[in-house]
Structure 1
């Protein structure tokens, strides 16, 4: 079975199959909810509710594949933080998210461990929420961006 593709953009998240665009992106999420250099747990929770709402409004996504392809640069950064290069599993995503959450709660961040800007955190939050809500098990990192239907 071929994997479908997705891309989390600045203002939208797009899927190739089914051809769906969600009105949430890493930059718009960051600008709307994150008001600290490393977002607070309350800010993250408010942003997560927005992502959940967008996913619920697209029920056709719930029947999609468990495996996806993606060429996003932030995904490659997350893979690097997780110690991976070609693919990410749901467990890898959770590992990175939990580490970011621990630092936000007061644990010491190692120099260069992960980016702390709101856009990276926004991307990670969207990715984690998608992986949970859609039961995404595996994401293969690719070089070529897919052509998305408009």
Structure 2
């Protein structure tokens, strides 16, 4: 026994081209919303955003699970690269040793012209302006900063 699909009356009055357009627009909305959510939670393997400091600029570094590297700066726009397998393996080791389960979500020290770091990894978000105060995070930030200087100099 087969059932036919009932088309809502509003769609039935539309031409096939308009129906396709409406479907395509709905798909675009869903894809954009998914991308925005992915960005908001720091999609991929790890994301770091550095802002403030004397210069006041913002830099965002994203590393995907596949080793895709994306660096965004106001000065240079977006730079993309692919990490070598050994670099990705070293990054994964540093992420494990950072022990995000025990890092504070928010640690800010008083001071002027300090840079703020926001790191997203595995559902965790750590915000600090003193990386040295979080020894587990310092090597990770140093590595990500090194890639900023290498690829976006």
Q: Which has the higher strand share?
A: 2
Q: Looking at CA atoms only, which structure, 1 or 2, has the larger radius of gyration?
A: 2
What TM-score range do you get, normalising by the shorter chain? under 0.3
Q: What TM-score does the superposition give when structure 1 sets the normalisation length?
A: 0.23
Q: Which has the higher contact order (CA 8 A, sep 6+)?
A: 1
Q: Relative to total residues, which structure has the larger helix share, 1 or 2?
A: 1
